[in-house]
C-alpha cells in the first residue's frame, strides 16, 4: 500500500520536476529565438576598454543610420565564453573572432550563418583576396568580414633619442645586427621585449618567430608550417628560432635579459623606449602598441616615434607583413545582422576610428588621408600594398598548439630550454586528428 | 467533515491551477515574446511561484491519503524535487563526463583509455600531477598547522579578537582577488629599476638581486601555495579556535597541577581532544587545494611548471576544446576527491564535528 502510494507520488513530482527543468532549458533557448522583429543586435568580442569605446562610435553610426539597436560587449575571456554561449544555445547575434580556426570550427558545427550574397560581393570589391580567403570556411562559404586589422612586422623606436645618438634605420638583417652591436658598444640596450599577457602569455614570442620565419623561409614554407605539411620541428623552423634566439637570448641585446622578457607585460614593454635616457631603443610590435605609449608621446606621435618594417633576412622573400584581425561572424538570421556586416565593409564604418587612431583597415576603398597621423597612414599603406601578407600563424594552428604549446614553448625557449627540445615538444602536441 | 470536503475541493482546483501556471508560464517563456528584462522578471516571479505552488499542491495531494501513509510520504515530497534537481545537475553531468572521457576530442568516437593514457604520460600532465600533490601536501599541512598555532596562541592572548580578525580577514578575499594582490608582492623589475614588488623591494633594500619568484619550478609552486595558505589559515583558525573552547578546562587544570608543561598539555591533551575538528578542517582544505585553479590561473596561468590538474582541465576543455581529455582529467580529480568526501561524510554522520 505504502509502496504504491509512494510510487504514485514519486511519479507526480518527478513529472512536475521534469517539467520545471525543461522549462529552465526552454527559458535559456528562448533568449536566442527572442523576438526576431526587435532591432537589437548583440555583438560580442575580445577587445575592451579604449578599443571598445572606439568601436562603439562605429556602432552608434550604424544605429543612427538604420534605427537598429546594436550593442557591443567585450570580454577578456572571450574565447571561452563564446564557445560556452554557442553550445548553450545563447550566442550573441554577431561575434568578432580573432582566430580563423575558431570560425571554421563554428561553421562546421553549424553555429554560424554564411554571409549574404550582397555582403560577399562587397568583400570582393573592397578587400584583397587574402581577407576573403581568411573568412571562408571548409565548406567554401564565406562567413567572416574583417574590419579593423593589425599588422605586426614593425619595429618602433624613440625618434628624438635615436637621432641624437646618430642611429640609422636598418634595411637588412646584417645592418640590424651591426646597429645592435653599435648600441651595445655605446652602452645602450637595443631591444625591449615583453611576453607577459595574462592567460595568453607567450604570444609576443610566437609573433617574433612567425615574422622571422616569413623572412628566412618565405610564405610558401610558412603556409606548409601553418597547415602542418612540414613538422613543427622542421629545420626551417629551427633556423628561424635560432635567429630569434640570437636576439632574445643575448643578455646584452635585451633590456633586463630573459627574465624581464618573461615578466614584462607586452603593453608595458614599449615604455622603456620613452624614458630619459631610453632604457632600450627598439620594440618589435603591432600597430596597436601606439595605444600603450605614454600619453605625452601619444600626443606627439609623429615627432616622438619612429617606425620601420622588421628588416628582410633573405632578399628573395623581401619584407612580408604579418598581421591579424577579428572577423565578424553572424550567429543569427536577422536581416539587420547582414546589414551590419555590409556596413563593416564600407569605409564609412572605418573612417571615424582611423581618425582617432589605434586601428588599421585592409579596405581597398579607403582614404589614407583619414588616418589621424602620418605613422598610421604609412603603416596602412604598407599593409594595403604589401606583396605578401600572412595571418598570424598561431591563430591559424589548432588551439592546442596556437593557443597552447606554441605560447608555452616560446616561454620555455626564453627560459633556457634548447630549440630542439622546445620544437619537438610542440610537434608532439600537434593533434593527431581534428 | 465539512472542513475535509473543502480541503478536497481545494485540491480539485489548486492542482490543475498549478499545472496550468507551470506549463503556461513555460510555454509563454518559450515563445520568447518578451524582451530580456521582462523575461528575467517573469522567470523569477513565475519560477518562485511555481515552486511554492508545486509544494502546496503536492501536499494537498498527499493529504488525500490516509494519515499513516501521509506521514510516510511527506518527507519525500518535500525533499524529492530538490534531490531530483540536484541529481540532474550533479549526477547527469558526472555520467556524461565519464562517457566523454572515453571518447575522442569532439566526443564522437569511442577511443577506450586513450585519454587516461594521455593524462598519465604527457609531460605537462605529469608536471601537473606532481604539482597537485605538492599543493595537497604543503597547502593542507601548513594551513592547518598555522591555523592551529594561531588558535592556540590566540586562546592565550590578550588580543585574541584582533589577532583572529587579522588572520581571518583574507578568507573574505576571492582566490582571484588574492592572486591580483600577490602579483604585486611578487612583481619583478630588472636590476636597477624601482622595484614595485614588495618582496623584491625588501630583497634589494637588503642588498640582494631582484628575483623572478614565479619563474623557476618547482620552487614557484611554493610561492603560489603561500597565497593559498594565507587564505586558508583563517578558516582553520576559526574552526580550531572554536574547538579549543570546548576542551574542558578542568582537564587542563588537572594536568597543570600534575606538573605538565604547556607543550605537553597541547600535544597530549588539547590536540587529541580536538582531533575530530582537525581532521574535518584538513579534509576541507585538502579539497580546496585539489580544486584550486584560480590562483594558478591568475598568477602564472600554468607557465614555468606551475600547471595543476584543475588548470589543465580548464585548458583542455575550454581552450583546446578537447572534451575527451578535459573529461578524463575531471574524472581523475573526482576519483581523487571521492575518498576524502566519503571519509568526511562518515565522520560527519558519526558526530557533530563542527
- Give residue limits of the domains in chain B: 2-100, 115-350
Residues 280-309 (B) with a CB less than 8 A from some CB of A: 297, 301-304
A35 to chain B nearest CA, in Å? 6
A260 interaction partners in chain B (CB closer than 8 Å): 188-190
Per-residue buried b or exposed e for B89-117, using 16+ beta carbons within 10 Å of the residue's own CB? eeeeeeeebeebbbbbbbbeeeeeebbbe
Query: What pLDDT, on the 0 to 100 scale, is given for residue B13?
Result: 84
B322 interaction partners in chain A (CB closer than 8 Å): 400, 431
Mean pLDDT, all residues of chain B: 86
A32 interaction partners in chain B (CB closer than 8 Å): 32
CA-to-CA dists, residue B182 to A129, B169, B186, B212, B310, angstroms: 48, 15, 6, 13, 20
Query: What pLDDT, on the 0 to 100 scale, is given for residue A403?
Result: 85
Q: CA-to-CA distance for B334 and B330, rounded, in angstroms?
A: 6
Q: Is B31 on the interface with A (CB under 8 A)?
A: yes
A35 interaction partners in chain B (CB closer than 8 Å): 32-35
Nearest alpha-carbon partner for B152 in B278, B292, B306: B278
Pair A116, A337: CB distance under 8 Å: no
Query: What pLDDT, on the 0 to 100 scale, is given for residue A35?
Result: 42
B191 interaction partners in chain A (CB closer than 8 Å): 256
Q: Is the pLDDT of residue A71 over 70?
A: yes
Query: Which region holds residue A202: left if phi is over 0, alpha if psi is between -120 and 50, else beta?
Result: left
Element housing B188 (H / E):
none
B190 interaction partners in chain A (CB closer than 8 Å): 255-257, 259-260
Q: Is A1 on the interface with B (CB under 8 A)?
A: yes
Q: Is B75 on the interface with A (CB under 8 A)?
A: no
Angle between helices B160-168 and B219-245 (to 10 degrees): 140
Question: Is the confidence metric ipTM above 0.85 for this complex?
Answer: no
Q: Is A105 on the interface with B (CB under 8 A)?
A: yes
| 3-state secondary structure at position A43 | strand
Q: Which CATH architecture has domain A154-319+397-429?
A: 3-Layer(aba) Sandwich (3.40)
Per-residue pLDDT reduced to its tens digit, A210-257: 999 999 999 999 999 998 999 999 999 999 999 999 999 999 999 999
What does pTM read for this prediction?
Answer: 0.78
Q: Is the pLDDT of residue A5 over 50?
A: no
Q: CA-to-CA distance for A63 and A336, rounded, in angstroms?
A: 10
* Domain ranges within chain A, ordered by starting residue: 38-151+324-391, 154-319+397-429
Out of B69, B303, B320, closest to residue A399 by CB? B320
A399 to chain B nearest CA, in Å? 5
Fold category of A38-151+324-391 in CATH: D-Maltodextrin-Binding Protein; domain 2 (3.40.190)
Q: Is A103 on the interface with B (CB under 8 A)?
A: no
Per-residue pLDDT reduced to its tens digit, A254-284: 999 999 999 899 989 999 999 989 999 999 9
Per-residue buried b or exposed e for B281-313, using 16+ beta carbons within 10 Å of the residue's own CB? bbbbbbbbbbbbbbbbbbbbbbbbbbbbbbbbb
CA-to-CA dists, residue B103 to B91, B325, B334, angstroms: 19, 9, 18
Q: Is A410 on the interface with B (CB under 8 A)?
A: no
CB-side neighbour CA atoms (13 Å) of B334: 14
Contact at CB, A262 and B212, closer than 8 angstroms: yes
| Same CATH fold assignment for domains A38-151+324-391 and A154-319+397-429 | yes
Query: What pLDDT, on the 0 to 100 scale, is given for residue B165?
Result: 86
A380 to chain B nearest CA, in Å? 32
Query: What pLDDT, on the 0 to 100 scale, is given for residue B1?
Result: 52
Contact at CB, B84 and A12, closer than 8 angstroms: no
* Cα angle, residue A142 at apex, residues A141 and A143 outer, rounded to 5°: 115
A26 to chain B nearest CA, in Å? 6
How many helices (H) and strands (E) would you count in chain A? 21, 9
B213 interaction partners in chain A (CB closer than 8 Å): none
Query: What pLDDT, on the 0 to 100 scale, is given for residue A160?
Result: 92
Average pLDDT of the segment spanning A361-379: 89
Q: Is B28 on the interface with A (CB under 8 A)?
A: no
Contact at CB, B54 and A13, closer than 8 angstroms: yes
Contact at CB, A79 and B43, closer than 8 angstroms: no
Query: What pLDDT, on the 0 to 100 scale, is given for residue A1?
Result: 39
Contact at CB, B215 and A30, closer than 8 angstroms: no
Mean pLDDT, all residues of chain A: 87
The one-digit pLDDT tens for each residue of chain B (354 residues) are 556 667 778 888 888 888 898 888 888 887 767 777 888 898 899 989 998 898 888 888 888 888 888 888 888 888 888 889 888 888 899 999 999 999 888 888 888 898 999 999 988 899 999 999 999 999 999 999 999 998 888 877 788 788 888 888 888 888 888 888 998 899 888 887 888 888 888 988 898 888 888 888 788 899 999 999 999 999 999 899 888 888 888 888 888 888 888 888 888 888 888 888 888 899 889 988 888 888 888 888 888 888 999 999 988 888 888 889 999 999 999 998 888 888 878 877 776 544
Q: Is A73 on the interface with B (CB under 8 A)?
A: no
Residues in chain B: 354
Q: CA-to-CA distance for B69 and B78, rounded, in angstroms?
A: 15
Give the contacts of A288 (CB within 8 A, at least 6 positions apart): A150, A358
Query: What pLDDT, on the 0 to 100 scale, is given for residue A414?
Result: 94
Pair A191, A247: CB distance under 8 Å: yes
B301 to chain A nearest CA, in Å? 6
Per-residue pLDDT reduced to its tens digit, B309-333: 999 998 888 888 888 999 999 999 9
Parallel/antiparallel/unpaired status of strands A305-309 and A145-151: unpaired
Superfamily grouping for domain B115-350: MetI-like (1.10.3720.10)
Query: What pLDDT, on the 0 to 100 scale, is given for residue A433?
Result: 63
A199 interaction partners in chain B (CB closer than 8 Å): 297, 301
Cell of A353: 576610428
Q: Give Cα B8 to chain centroid, integer Å.
A: 46
Per-residue pLDDT reduced to its tens digit, A9-56: 444 444 444 444 444 433 333 334 444 456 789 999 988 888 899 999
Residues 348-407 (A) with a CB less than 8 A from some CB of B: 398-400, 403-404
Amino acid at each position: 500500500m505504502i509502496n504504491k502510494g509512494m510510487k504514485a507520488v514519486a511519479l507526480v513530482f518527478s513529472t512536475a520536476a521534469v517539467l520545471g527543468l525543461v522549462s529552465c532549458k526552454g527559458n535559456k533557448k528562448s533568449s536566442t529565438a527572442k523576438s526576431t522583429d526587435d532591432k537589437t543586435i548583440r555583438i560580442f568580442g575580445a577587445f575592451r576598454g579604449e578599443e571598445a569605446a572606439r568601436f562603439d562610435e562605429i556602432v552608434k553610426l550604424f544605429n543612427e543610420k538604420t534605427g537598429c539597436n546594436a550593442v557591443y560587449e567585450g570580454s577578456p575571456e572571450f574565447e571561452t565564453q563564446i564557445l560556452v554561449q554557442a553550445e548553450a544555445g545563447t550566442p550573441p547575434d554577431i561575434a568578432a573572432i580573432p582566430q580563423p580556426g575558431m570560425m571554421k570550427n563554428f561553421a562546421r558545427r553549424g553555429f554560424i550563418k554564411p554571409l549574404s550574397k550582397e555582403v560577399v560581393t562587397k568583400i570582393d570589391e573592397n578587400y584583397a583576396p587574402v581577407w576573403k580567403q581568411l573568412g571562408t570556411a571548409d565548406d567554401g562559404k564565406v562567413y567572416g568580414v574583417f574590419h579593423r586589422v593589425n599588422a605586426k612586422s614593425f619595429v618602433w623606436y624613440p625618434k628624438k633619442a635615436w637621432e641624437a645618438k646618430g642611429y640609422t634605420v636598418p634595411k637588412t638583417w646584417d645592418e640590424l645586427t651591426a646597429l645592435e652591436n653599435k648600441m651595445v658598444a655605446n652602452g645602450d640596450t637595443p631591444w625591449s621585449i615583453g611576453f607577459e599577457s595574462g592567460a595568453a602569455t607567450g604570444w609576443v614570442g610566437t609573433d617574433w618567430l612567425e615574422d622571422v620565419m616569413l623572412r628566412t623561409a618565405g610564405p610558401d614554407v610558412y603556409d606548409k608550417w601553418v597547415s602542418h605539411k612540414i613538422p613543427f620541428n622542421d629545420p626551417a623552423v629551427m633556423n628561424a628560432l635560432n635567429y630569434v634566439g640570437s636576439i632574445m637570448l643575448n643578455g646584452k641585446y635585451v633590456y633586463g635579459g630573459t627574465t624581464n622578457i618573461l615578466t614584462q607585460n607586452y603593453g608595458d614593454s614599449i615604455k622603456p623606449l620613452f624614458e630619459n635616457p631610453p632604457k632600450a631603443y627598439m620594440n618589435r610590435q603591432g600597430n596597436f602598441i601606439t595605444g600603450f605609449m605614454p600619453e605625452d608621446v601619444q600626443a606627439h606621435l609623429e615627432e616622438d616615434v619612429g617606425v620601420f618594417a622588421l628588416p628582410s633576412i633573405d632578399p628573395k622573400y623581401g619584407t612580408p607583413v604579418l598581421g591579424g584581425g577579428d572577423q565578424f561572424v553572424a550567429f543569427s538570421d536577422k536581416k539587420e545582422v547582414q546589414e551590419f556586416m555590409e556596413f563593416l565593409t564600407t569605409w564609412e564604418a572605418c573612417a571615424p576610428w582611423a581618425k582617432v587612431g589605434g586601428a588599421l583597415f585592409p579596405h581597398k576603398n579607403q582614404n589614407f588621408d583619414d588616418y589621424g597621423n602620418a605613422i598610421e597612414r604609412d603603416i596602412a599603406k604598407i599593409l594595403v600594398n604589401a606583396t605578401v601578407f600572412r595571418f598570424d600563424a598561431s591563430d591559424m594552428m589548432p588551439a592546442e598548439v596556437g593557443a597552447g604549446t606554441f605560447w608555452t614553448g616560446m616561454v620555455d625557449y626564453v627560459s633556457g630550454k634548447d630549440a630542439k627540445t622546445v620544437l619537438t615538444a610542440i610537434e608532439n602536441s600537434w593533434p593527431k586528428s581534428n | 467533515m465539512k472542513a475535509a470536503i473543502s480541503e478536497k475541493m481545494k485540491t480539485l482546483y489548486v492542482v490543475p491551477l498549478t499545472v496550468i501556471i507551470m506549463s503556461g508560464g513555460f510555454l509563454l517563456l518559450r515563445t520568447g515574446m518578451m524582451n530580456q528584462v521582462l523575461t528575467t522578471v517573469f522567470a523569477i516571479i513565475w519560477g518562485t511561484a511555481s515552486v511554492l505552488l508545486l509544494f502546496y499542491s503536492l501536499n494537498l495531494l498527499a493529504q488525500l491519503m490516509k494519515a499513516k501513509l501521509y506521514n510516510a510520504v511527506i518527507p519525500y515530497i518535500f525533499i524529492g524535487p530538490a534531490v531530483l534537481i540536484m541529481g540532474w545537475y550533479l549526477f547527469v553531468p558526472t555520467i556524461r563526463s565519464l562517457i566523454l572521457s572515453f571518447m575522442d576530442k569532439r566526443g564522437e568516437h569511442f577511443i577506450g583509455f586513450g585519454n587516461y593514457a594521455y593524462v598519465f604520460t604527457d609531460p605537462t600532465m605529469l608536471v601537473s600531477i606532481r604539482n597537485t600533490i605538492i599543493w595537497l601536501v604543503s597547502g593542507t599541512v601548513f594551513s592547518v598547522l598555522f591555523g592551529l598555532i594561531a588558535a592556540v596562541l590566540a586562546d592565550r592572548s590578550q588580543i585574541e579578537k584582533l589577532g583572529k580578525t587579522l588572520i581571518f580577514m583574507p578568507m573574505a578575499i576571492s582566490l582571484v582577488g588574492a592572486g591580483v594582490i600577490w602579483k604585486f608582492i611578487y612583481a619583478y623589475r630588472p636590476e636597477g629599476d624601482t622595484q614595485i614588488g614588495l618582496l623584491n623591494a625588501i630583497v634589494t633594500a637588503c642588498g640582494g638581486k631582484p628575483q623572478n619568484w614565479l619563474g623557476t619550478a618547482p620552487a614557484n609552486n611554493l610561492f603560489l601555495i603561500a597565497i593559498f595558505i594565507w587564505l586558508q589559515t583563517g578558516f582553520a583558525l576559526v574552526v580550531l579556535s572554536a574547538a579549543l573552547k570546548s576542551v574542558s578546562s578542568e582537564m587542563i587544570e588537572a594536568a597543570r597541577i600534575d606538573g605538565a608543561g604547556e607543550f605537553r598539555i597541547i600535544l597530549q591533551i588539547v590536540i587529541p581532544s580536538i582531533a575530530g575538528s582537525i581532521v574535518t578542517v584538513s579534509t576541507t582544505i585538502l579539497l580546496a587545494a585539489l580544486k584550486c585553479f584560480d590562483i594558478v590561473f591568475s598568477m602564472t596561468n600554468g607557465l614555468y611548471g606551475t600547471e595543476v590538474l584543475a588548470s589543465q582541465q580548464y585548458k583542455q576543455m575550454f581552450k583546446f576544446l578537447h572534451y575527451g581529455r578535459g573529461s578524463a582529467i575531471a574524472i581523475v580529480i573526482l576519483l581523487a576527491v571521492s575518498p576524502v568526501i566519503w571519509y568526511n561524510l562518515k565522520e560527519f554522520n558519526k558526530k557533530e564535528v563542527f
